[in-house]
Amino acid sequence: MFAVLKTGGKQYKVSQGDIIQIEKLEGKVGDKVTLDQVLMIGEDDKIDIGSPVVKGSQVTGEIVNQAKGPKVIVFKKIRRKKYRRKNGHRQLITHLKITEISKK
Protein backbone atom coordinates (compact mmCIF):
# COMPACT_ATOMS: atom_id res chain seq x y z
CA MET A 1 0.00 0.00 0.00
CA PHE A 2 1.27 3.46 -0.84
CA ALA A 3 0.00 7.01 -0.50
CA VAL A 4 0.78 10.39 -1.99
CA LEU A 5 0.59 13.10 0.64
CA LYS A 6 1.07 16.85 0.69
CA THR A 7 2.98 18.71 3.37
CA GLY A 8 5.08 21.84 3.33
CA GLY A 9 3.95 22.70 -0.19
CA LYS A 10 5.45 19.49 -1.61
CA GLN A 11 4.12 16.04 -2.47
CA TYR A 12 5.64 12.76 -1.28
CA LYS A 13 4.95 9.15 -2.29
CA VAL A 14 5.28 7.00 0.84
CA SER A 15 4.82 3.41 1.96
CA GLN A 16 4.71 1.93 5.43
CA GLY A 17 8.19 1.88 6.98
CA ASP A 18 9.63 4.67 4.79
CA ILE A 19 11.64 7.49 6.34
CA ILE A 20 11.07 10.80 4.58
CA GLN A 21 12.70 14.20 4.97
CA ILE A 22 10.12 17.00 5.07
CA GLU A 23 9.95 20.62 6.15
CA LYS A 24 9.90 21.11 9.92
CA LEU A 25 6.88 19.87 11.85
CA GLU A 26 6.26 20.87 15.45
CA GLY A 27 7.02 18.11 17.95
CA LYS A 28 9.79 16.25 19.70
CA VAL A 29 11.63 13.09 18.73
CA GLY A 30 9.32 10.12 19.28
CA ASP A 31 6.06 12.08 18.90
CA LYS A 32 3.29 10.73 16.67
CA VAL A 33 2.17 12.96 13.78
CA THR A 34 -0.99 12.59 11.68
CA LEU A 35 -1.03 13.97 8.14
CA ASP A 36 -4.51 14.16 6.64
CA GLN A 37 -3.82 15.76 3.25
CA VAL A 38 -3.65 12.48 1.34
CA LEU A 39 -4.01 13.06 -2.40
CA MET A 40 -3.98 9.42 -3.54
CA ILE A 41 -3.96 5.92 -2.05
CA GLY A 42 -2.98 2.81 -3.95
CA GLU A 43 -3.32 -0.83 -2.91
CA ASP A 44 -2.43 -3.64 -5.36
CA ASP A 45 -4.33 -2.68 -8.55
CA LYS A 46 -6.88 -0.42 -6.85
CA ILE A 47 -6.15 3.32 -6.78
CA ASP A 48 -8.23 6.02 -5.07
CA ILE A 49 -7.63 9.56 -6.27
CA GLY A 50 -8.99 12.44 -4.24
CA SER A 51 -10.38 15.71 -5.47
CA PRO A 52 -8.34 17.28 -3.93
CA VAL A 53 -7.94 14.85 -0.99
CA VAL A 54 -9.17 11.32 -0.27
CA LYS A 55 -11.84 11.67 2.41
CA GLY A 56 -11.32 9.72 5.62
CA SER A 57 -7.72 8.81 4.91
CA GLN A 58 -4.65 9.70 6.91
CA VAL A 59 -0.98 8.87 7.23
CA THR A 60 0.52 8.41 10.68
CA GLY A 61 4.22 8.81 11.33
CA GLU A 62 6.76 9.09 14.11
CA ILE A 63 9.34 11.86 14.32
CA VAL A 64 12.80 10.30 14.13
CA ASN A 65 14.95 13.43 14.06
CA GLN A 66 14.77 17.24 13.95
CA ALA A 67 17.73 18.73 12.07
CA LYS A 68 18.95 21.37 9.63
CA GLY A 69 19.36 20.74 5.93
CA PRO A 70 22.46 21.49 3.85
CA LYS A 71 23.61 25.07 3.49
CA VAL A 72 22.42 26.91 0.39
CA ILE A 73 24.40 29.96 -0.74
CA VAL A 74 22.37 32.90 -2.07
CA PHE A 75 24.64 35.21 -4.08
CA LYS A 76 23.42 38.37 -5.84
CA LYS A 77 25.63 40.44 -8.12
CA ILE A 78 25.26 43.34 -10.53
CA ARG A 79 28.38 43.55 -12.64
CA ARG A 80 30.35 46.81 -12.90
CA LYS A 81 28.26 48.39 -10.12
CA LYS A 82 30.13 47.11 -7.02
CA TYR A 83 26.98 45.29 -5.85
CA ARG A 84 27.50 41.92 -4.20
CA ARG A 85 25.40 40.26 -1.51
CA LYS A 86 26.16 36.82 -0.10
CA ASN A 87 23.73 35.06 2.26
CA GLY A 88 23.42 31.51 3.46
CA HIS A 89 20.32 29.54 4.42
CA ARG A 90 19.79 26.22 6.21
CA GLN A 91 16.22 24.88 6.12
CA LEU A 92 14.88 23.19 9.26
CA ILE A 93 13.83 19.63 8.44
CA THR A 94 12.10 16.70 10.12
CA HIS A 95 12.84 13.04 9.47
CA LEU A 96 9.51 11.19 9.67
CA LYS A 97 9.06 7.41 9.75
CA ILE A 98 5.73 6.32 8.25
CA THR A 99 4.04 3.88 10.62
CA GLU A 100 0.52 3.55 9.21
CA ILE A 101 -1.56 4.41 6.16
CA SER A 102 -5.27 4.18 6.90
CA LYS A 103 -8.37 4.60 4.77
CA LYS A 104 -11.93 4.60 6.04
For residues 51-69, average pLDDT:
96
Quote the pTM value: 0.85
Q: Is the pLDDT of residue 70 over 90?
A: yes
| Residue 72 confidence (pLDDT) | 98
Among 91, 82, 89, residue whose Cα is nearest residue 23: 91
pLDDT band at 44 (very low <50, low <70, confident <90, very high): confident
With 0-12 / 13-18 / 19 or more C-beta atoms within 10 angstroms meaning exposed / middle / buried, residue 24 is middle
Across the range 36-61, mean pLDDT stands at 94
Distances (CA, A) of 18 to 44, 98, 102: 18, 5, 15
